[in-house]
A = this chain, B = another copy of it.
């Protein structure tokens, strides 16, 4: 049975107010979570991790994976998906990249009074469809209503519990120099789709969110590479750059990616150039980054390519010793640059 093992309460977060950037998934979010929430709440889970994407909990001696996320995406519907679909897939995916298969979800709705019932019905139906596609059951929930003007239509929170896969042992401490960095497909589609869907910019593009369950990618990877799969993430808020920076920091190693090998759709590349954004910082909702042992990397990529939607899976980089704890990108001309975590919040409320 669990016991409470609170850390000493040393709150280091000194910002006087919470701002949008604290929810964007980049450096400000990390300062808030690591400087305030973890010091006050954070015990270690059964896997020795602290407030990670998914936690392991021992219930009657058996490890269960659990993860939770609130979804506040604006607009509620966008090309390729909607908040309800995102809320199911996002939680299924947090479990999947932690090496667990979702068994059941629960969901809560915070609804703004005045929301047309048809909007709620559409999102509940989208959740049911996404759950059916992901092979997971929604077993419980809660509904709250707040006054008009006290929410933004609808916020959905989902929590998933999952069963750890037998042959997946994923942890940053298993990453070694020489391991390869694999991306499942083109990056940035979700974030740019949301940005364009808001209509604030005079831009149009033939682009859809990539929201989907990434469990098929994860299962293919683990089947092909087994213990050669070291670590995985689904690069949502803060994008690939933020996930890889977390890896570099946690391992003390260098993640060296070849910029040209990272798949990016033309519409995303074009929008990013116009807006001064880096596709590596843009959120994805249906991609996986995996670190795989070099001798298993090619078979892992082939296995992912055999999964529908994984046709563009590719090796984009390698783990090196130096420079320590950094993410580097090498351009096609041989120049290198440091890739930082997302700073600020260029794209609020993308999930």
Contacts and interface: CB of A to CB of B under 8 A. Distances in A.
A68 B1 contact: no
A136 interface: yes
Interface stretch (A150-158, A200-208, A215-223, A289-297): A150-158
Interface in A100-149: 101, 103-104, 106-117, 120-121, 124-125, 127-128, 131-132, 135-147, 149
Interface residues of A, number: 95
Nearest to A111: B18
B125 A9 contact: yes
A201 to B, nearest CB: 18
Contacts of A145: 18-24, 348
Interface string A32-73: 110011001111010000011111011110101011111110
A104 B2 contact: yes
Interface string A154-169: 0101010111000000
Contact of A139 (B55, B127, B132, B348): B55
Copies in the complex: 2
A132 B4 contact: yes
A269 interface: no
Contacts of A15: 117
A135 B1 CA distance: 9
A13 interface: yes
State the 3 A-B residue pairs at the shortest beta-carbon distance, nearest first.
A23-B145, A159-B159, A55-B139
